[in-house]
A = this chain, B = another copy of it.
């Protein structure tokens, strides 16, 4: 984990941008402090519960990177009154009108993946900026969600360049309309590791790089040995005719995330973390998993998650060689 953190921190330093780690993956303050430039941030979160929990632990510079719902503004204002510099994101005039007292980034759609304004929608962009006003407009933010489908170094570098270009182009439109000192925020773990040039970008967001996972290894972003998180499970039975074992980890422990569909519910390692050849969790129910191999009763195995964010979210905390560490916000509210 420390190596993963160092690798991206150094990369971002080399490219001359700020790293604003996304804390939705780890949701733990000790790990967050290792990821952030300082104990005060900067940081990215995906829920207000995360924002409030990390703020209570001393994080003061936070971007809440999910489109703001008007009904959530009171909690945002509450955090700001406590001196937390929290920024929201939005992509409509309607949201902008109610956010004039809160710093906001306009969400840019860099790859058609989800929400946001396309840089080509120049008029819409300027309307949102005008509705927000120069006091609130902090800049632009984009997330190349499509990079999760870009396999290999060239495709990933192209996704990173697309992300950069869209954000820089949108910022240029705003600048030419008189808005100054803009944040230009881009990021995803794949693009952060493959961007060759980040000219015009001020900060990069990424989260899953702290642990990595089978998906990131399949994309070529990391090696399987870089994966710094696993689910420890025990063999509780065997089916000799089928040649499979039953384990005490099902989708409750592993999540239902199937990644790219090549790794079942997760790849199986021995208790020391060494991968067992072609060994996968091939079926899951709530607290049962089925492994495609006969293993002795009581054997402990480690399962590499398809998607670290999803698997970590199934647990209230982590077990490390040094002891256990809680996640700050358990559950989805």
A202 interface residue, CB < 8 Å from B?
Answer: no
A contact face: mostly helix, strand, loop, or mixed: loop
Contacts of A285 in B (CB 8 A): 114, 145
Interfacial residues of chain A within 28-78, with CB under 8 A of chain B in the complex: 46-47, 66-72
Q: Is A194 positioned at the interface, with any CB of B under 8 Å from its CB? A: no
- Please indicate the chain B residues that have their CB under 8 angstroms from the CB of A236 in the complex: 66-69, 115
Write out, one digit per residue, whether chain A residues 223-259 have a CB within 8 A of any chain B CB (1) or not (0): 0000000000011111100000010110111011110
Residue A94 lies at the interface, judged by CB distance under 8 Å to chain B: yes
User: Could you tell me the distance in whole angstroms from the C-beta of A191 to the nearest C-beta in chain B?
Assistant: 15
Inter-subunit contact A256/B253 (CB<8 Å): no
Which of B67, B71, B145, B309 interacts with A246 by CB under 8 Å? B67
A315 partner, pick from B67, B70, B115, B333, beta carbons under 8 A? B333
Inter-chain contact A288/B69, CB cutoff 8 Å: no
A115→B288 CA distance, assembly (Å):
10
Q: Which of B66, B72, B253, B332 contacts A288 (CB 8 A)?
A: B66
Question: Are B332 and A95 in contact (CB-based, < 8 A)?
Answer: no
Central interface residue in A145, A248, A257, by most chain B CB within 10 Å: A248
**Which residues of B sit under 8 angstroms from A47, Cβ to Cβ?**
252, 287
Contacts of A317 in B (CB 8 A): 331, 333
Q: Which of B46, B72, B92 contacts A286 (CB 8 A)?
A: B46
Residues of chain B lying within 8 A (CB to CB) of residue A114: 246, 285, 288, 290
Contact check, A248 vs B286: say whether CB atoms are below 8 A apart. Answer: no
- CB pair A115–B298 under 8 Å, yes or no, is no
Q: Is A24 an interface residue (CB 8 A)?
A: yes
Interface contact B287-A46, CB-CB below 8 Å = yes
Given the complex of chains A and B, what is the CA–CA distance between A108 and B256 in angstroms?
27
Within 8 A of B (CB), among A80-106: 91-92, 94-95
Q: How far in angstroms is the closest Cβ of chain B from A140?
A: 15
Contacts of A72 in B (CB 8 A): 234
> Which one of B46, B234, B252, B330 contacts A69 once the chains associate, using CB atoms below 8 Å?
B234
Contact B331 A92 (CB under 8 A): no
Q: A46-B252, A253-B333, A327-B331 are in contact. List 14 more A-B contacts (CB 8 A).
A: A66-B248, A67-B248, A69-B236, A70-B298, A114-B285, A114-B290, A115-B288, A251-B257, A253-B332, A255-B256, A315-B331, A315-B333, A319-B333, A330-B330
A interface residue numbers (CB < 8 A to B):
24, 46-47, 66-72, 91-92, 94-95, 114-115, 145, 234-239, 246, 248-249, 251-253, 255-258, 285-288, 290, 297-298, 309-310, 313-317, 319, 327, 330-333
- In the complex, 19 of the A-B residue pairs with CB atoms within 8 angstroms, ordered by the A residue number, are A46-B287, A47-B252, A67-B236, A67-B246, A67-B248, A69-B235, A69-B236, A70-B298, A71-B298, A92-B238, A94-B297, A251-B310, A253-B332, A256-B258, A314-B331, A314-B332, A315-B332, A315-B333, A316-B333
